[in-house]
Structure 1
């Protein structure tokens, strides 16, 4: 049996070059995966990227002048899996509340050994898992030694999974704080923590300044309408601030002792709201791939205040998406569509 035939028999790809296996949101929803598995997959993608085996060009962005929507396109190649993929992301309603927004994201995977399509999938669950996994890795590499307290700002998709993933890489955390303004989101954060860590409790805080002053790690995941804006002088020595969405003021970046970014190029594209009065962002001290690979230290001293910018790299979506596709196809999930007939 040829390599291509073996891969077909294992359910690793579509049946030929005229069909595409479609994996819907409901197909992927029931797949069981642990935060530790997600973290390991994402970490592997970073290591492969650092080793030069993968390609992760800067994302393309389009946005209308009134900024009511934003769209991204990201192309990449995972060298360890020999997979090429493109991710698209479109959000409409940036000027309205979360409940009125529309968000669509897809990932299309192609096997670069056989040349056949693997799958096209809804990417919302992939992104919802990949991002907190990256934050957890940033915390593992950049948090002050012996970190015990964490503050999560925001209760949306990223906020709901932030604590279970942080506890995966920093299990010694013993004070877990949450600032949120939506009761249903706060309930969802509690539920996710209960699912993964039934013995742990989250403390709901209303004074962001006081909570930030007590936190070794801050993960800001809130939407653009959040009232939270943590300032640099609120932070304790050694604090790590991770920006995913909103909740940190620009001073936490510009006055940081050390700046780490998953991608400096992407920070310069998507992090413009953190620019100074002259519209500039500071240079990063290191991108994250060499930190994960153990080449560059995430932290140089226990007193450094570190700012980390967590923007998605498509190679992490590819790695996790391919892992999900393999699990889904092994279970016979998805629908074959004669897309190119």
Structure 2
């Protein structure tokens, strides 16, 4: 039992804010390891990842969803809730509020409540990196589409997973975000440079890995005809056109059932959704291929999996509590 859990016996729950989690020194290789173990435990451990519950009014002014999951690798149960106001950014009034509540499933004790602004992008980028490494471990050229929060950490996470990457490019309209993305790489990998791309098609035609990390307002998308043989496109937001999904030679998902809940915008004219060839947990275990041929264009759909939130949340909470960080709130 960790010191952090012992401290909760007085009914005071540790609350780890965005600012608190931002003070942690985070090793991206460790993040990838934790997320990978969570995916493996979905097949080999006592893990559960039910589909999310979603509520939304008819005018789509807000979006709310909740998820509960159990990570068998860390023996942790987590409850995540998300509320977004103006999710389609039509009112210039966007708001995002979310947290995850963690419990130790060996001791029965609560662990902490965490903000997910730091957590979400980390587990999502780690998942994208695992998919890219599985499908193209010898990749040399990576392109990220999007300069928001997800785009800003996608490249350094890719380098952590595939150290052989020698050319890093990013396309986006948020200039400050582009510079943050460059700084994130240079800080962790001195000597690595990041190119800002103005011609998306030209960059995509030379990329081994394309990561679609743009936001809902994105106007430019990588098309299937731009993908070179053997390239892999990982979609976690926007920036990769649906025709890459439909035209791909091989398709990967984190979880097919979860994908079908969230991929309506990728459906064909008649609502058709192409068949998924493999899921990431099976690929990581060597039970499935990540492609059939070196020339396959691979499409990978990165849908959020609450077990990865739970596993990574436990990792971050344990680190924060070991440093006696966070506020204590008396609830019980």
Query: TM-score w.r.t. structure 2 length?
Result: 0.96
Counterpart of 2:80 (choices 84, 87, 98) is: 87
CA distance in 2, matches of 1:28, 1:42: 18
The answer on 1:71 being equivalent to 2:64 is yes
Q: Residue 58 in 1 paired to residue 51 in 2?
A: yes
Q: Secondary structure at the match of 1:11?
A: helix
Q: Within 5 Å, which residues of 2 pair with 1:176-255? A: 176-255=168-247
Q: 1:71 to 1:225 in 2, by over 3 A?
A: same
Structure-to-structure mapping, 1:1-341, within 5 angstroms: 7=1, 10-12=3-5, 14-16=7-9, 18-96=11-89, 100-143=93-136, 146-340=138-332
Instruction: Give a deviation string over 1:47-90, Cα, whole Å, max 9, x none.
Output: 11121421111111122223232222110111122211111112
Deviations 1:189-218 (Å, cap 9, x if unpaired)? 111111111211111111111111111100
In the alignment, the residues of structure 2 paired with residue 170 and residue 13 of structure 1 have an alpha-carbon distance, to the nearest angstrom, of: 39
Question: Number of paired residues?
Answer: 332
Shift of 1:115: 1.4
Q: 1: distance between equivalents of 2:269 and 2:10?
A: 52
111-120 vs 88-97, which moves further: 88-97
- Shift of the alpha carbon at 1:109? 0.5
SS at match of 1:312: coil
Q: CA contact under 8 A between 1:220 and 1:245: conserved in structure 2?
A: yes
Unaligned residue ranges in structure 1 (runs of 5+): 1-6
Q: Report if the CA contact (8 A) 1:14-1:117 is conserved.
A: no
CA RMSD, 1 decimal: 1.6
Q: 8 Å contact 1:14–1:119 — kept in the other structure?
A: no
What does residue 3 of structure 1 align with? none
Secondary structure at the residue paired with 1:105? strand
Name structure 2 gaps, 5 residues minimum.
Answer: none
C-alpha distance in 2, partners of 1:99/1:190? 27
SS in 1 for 2:9: coil
Question: TM-score, normalized by length of structure 1?
Answer: 0.93
C-alpha contact 1:12 1:326 (8 A) present in aligned 2 = no
